[in-house]
Amino acid sequence: MNPVVIVGGGLSGLAAAVHLSSRRIPILLLEQRKFLGGRAYSFVDDSTGTVIDNGQHVLIAGYARTMEFLGTIGTRDRLRVQSAPEFVFHHPRRGFCSFRLPLLPTPLHLLGGIITTDLFSPADKLRLLRAGRALRAFRPEAAGGMTVDAWLDSVGQSAETKRSFWEPLAVAIMNERIAVASALVFIRAIRTAFLSGARGAALAIPTVGLSDLYVEPARAFIERQGGVLRCGADVTGSVVDGENVACVLLKEGEMIPCSALILAVPSYRAASLLPAALRESGYMATAATIPLSPIVSVHLWFEKDVMPQETLGVIGRRVQWVFNRRTIGHENGPENEKRRGGHISAVISAAHAFVEMGNDELTRIVLEDLESIYGPNAGRAKHAVVIREKRATFSCTPEVERIRPRCVTSVPNLFIAGDWTDTGYPATIEGAITSGERCAGRAMALSEGAK
């Protein structure tokens, strides 16, 4: 029996491969690059010997498919999940403020969190309660075509609640500015976090690098189940014989037969790998036009630890979120004793205005923002690493949401995966894994029907 061929070794492709191989369906995963992981991988910084991620990927406990995936590959215990959801912010005037959700039944936990936080005035707390009621009663048609900013206006949010709460959350979740991000997708994500149970919004922070959380364990699992993975395999197209895809073509001229094909590649590459008839029909031509949104991460090392919190939302600066890499987990062991000191990663999402800046300028910007929070010691770093992900995510605007393709195509055994497809989620790990598993489920149904 020919294998299900999966093109793309990012999280969508790995999720599809894990799902199929766990059911003993033969798979062959082909990845163009020399390594797996897509946009979620780790590497070693030569100067410090520290394992760092290509970007900060924070999960929430409400990401059900991600948690199940990690359970399958055996790494769920490599996440540290908050006992109760808590977000700490730094406000330019109010200083450090927390938003903590008590472990009460939904929606009482949300009510309790809003009432007890010191982040807002009494009037703004009432506005947040109004938004909470709107979230509970939400109907998708009510937000069709709206931006996050427009929806927030429609539920009576003030400029201060936008700046101090909604915008930090929206930019982190959507990787886009609230003036252009899709309200529909944002609301779905917020409902998953805040209305899926008292702990749904709890942060789940990896205590190991992303490669050790997702990539290598998934590879090992797939291979144990008999699946095959090939890196450095440059797929250039696919061929239909009759109604179905019969094979994929590699740059070197190799033809690989398949029982089904899952294309788990970025939006700007997908159309070029379609069978000729689909490509010439203009199917998914709009996918290549989907705009992309960048993320800049800056890692900074200090002589001493200058940040007492694990995570911090930053209000009113250029940086939006800061993470204390030393206390999160995977830099505290005895093997790291010689590297004691502070290690902070700062994230600028929707970094359209920053991604082309030089490393020195970006480092200066981050140090200025940190110094405004933690004082002079945070303005003197001994080492910095700047990571630019120019194509970090697709830009999830209302216009883009209307053209995201479904996983199925007009070719019965051809499926499209990726966080940019119509998952209902923004460009999150949950969306990527959901997409891969949906495609795998379709391919599995074909395999079972053929027996």
- How confident is the model at residue 216, as a pLDDT? 97
Q: Which residues does 94 contact at the CB level (< 8 Å), separation at least 6?
A: 118, 119
Pair 266, 384 in one domain: no
Tell me which H or E stretch contains 436.
helix 429-450
**Angle formed by the axes of helices 64-73 and 216-224, nearest 10°:** 60
Of 145-149, 166-170, 325-329, 365-369, least confident by mean pLDDT is 325-329
CB-CB neighbours of 120 under 10 Å: 21
Euclidean distance between CA atoms 136 and 241, whole angstroms: 49
Tokens of 254: 């190799």
Residue 224 lies in a domain: yes
Residue 52 lies in a domain: no
Whether the per-residue pLDDT at 334 is higher than 50: the answer is: no
Euclidean distance between CA atoms 24 and 29, whole angstroms: 14
| Overall size of the chain counted in residues | 451
Pair 284, 406 in one domain: yes
Q: What is the mean pLDDT of residues 135-153?
A: 90
What's the pLDDT band for 338 if we cut at 50, 70, 90? very low
> Of the candidates 87, 201, 89, 189, which has an alpha carbon nearest to the alpha carbon of residue 135?
189
DSSP of 311-323 = EEEE-SSS--EEE
Whether the per-residue pLDDT at 137 is higher than 50: the answer is: yes
Q: What is the pTM for the complete model shown?
A: 0.93
pLDDT in tens, 9-27: 999 999 999 999 999 999 9
DSSP state of 43: E
Q: Which residues does 314 contact at the CB level (< 8 Å), separation at least 6?
A: 89, 90, 168, 320, 321, 322, 369, 373
- How confident is the model at residue 227, as a pLDDT? 97
Residue 189 lies in a domain: yes
Whether the per-residue pLDDT at 408 is higher than 60: the answer is: yes
Pair 192, 107 in one domain: yes
Whether the per-residue pLDDT at 138 is higher than 60: the answer is: yes
Q: Which CA distances in Å does 120 have to 157, 158, 201?
A: 12, 11, 19
Q: What is the mean pLDDT of residues 156-177?
A: 95
Pair 347, 333 in one domain: yes
Pair 400, 282 in one domain: yes
Q: Which residues does 141 contact at the CB level (< 8 Å), separation at least 6?
A: none
pLDDT in tens, 247-281: 999 998 999 999 999 999 999 999 999 998 888 88
Pair 353, 363 in one domain: yes
Bridge-based pairing of strands 27-31 and 4-7 is parallel
Tokens of 116: 């007890």
Q: Determine the 3-state secondary structure of 218 from DSSP.
A: helix
Pair 313, 356 in one domain: yes
CB-CB neighbours of 123 under 10 Å: 10
Bridge-based pairing of strands 95-100 and 86-91 is antiparallel
| Domain total of the chain | 3
pLDDT in tens, 224-253: 999 999 999 999 999 999 999 999 999 989
Euclidean distance between CA atoms 181 and 250, whole angstroms: 37
Q: What is the mean pLDDT of residues 335-349?
A: 77
What's the pLDDT band for 330 if we cut at 50, 70, 90? low
pLDDT mean across residues, the chain: 93
Residue 59 lies in a domain: no
Tokens of 65: 């498919």
Strands (E) located in 309-382? 311-314, 321-324, 342-348
Residue 216 lies in a domain: yes
Pair 14, 128 in one domain: no
Pair 278, 352 in one domain: no
Domain that holds residue 117: 97-201
Q: Determine the 3-state secondary structure of 342 from DSSP.
A: strand
> Of the candidates 22, 160, 1, which has an alpha carbon nearest to the alpha carbon of residue 441?
22
Residue 69 lies in a domain: no
The residue behind tokens 């902070």 is: 344
Pair 197, 219 in one domain: no
- How confident is the model at residue 284, as a pLDDT? 87
Residue 72 lies in a domain: no
What's the pLDDT band for 446 if we cut at 50, 70, 90? confident
pLDDT in tens, 288-310: 899 999 999 999 999 999 999 99
Pair 404, 389 in one domain: no
Pair 186, 266 in one domain: no
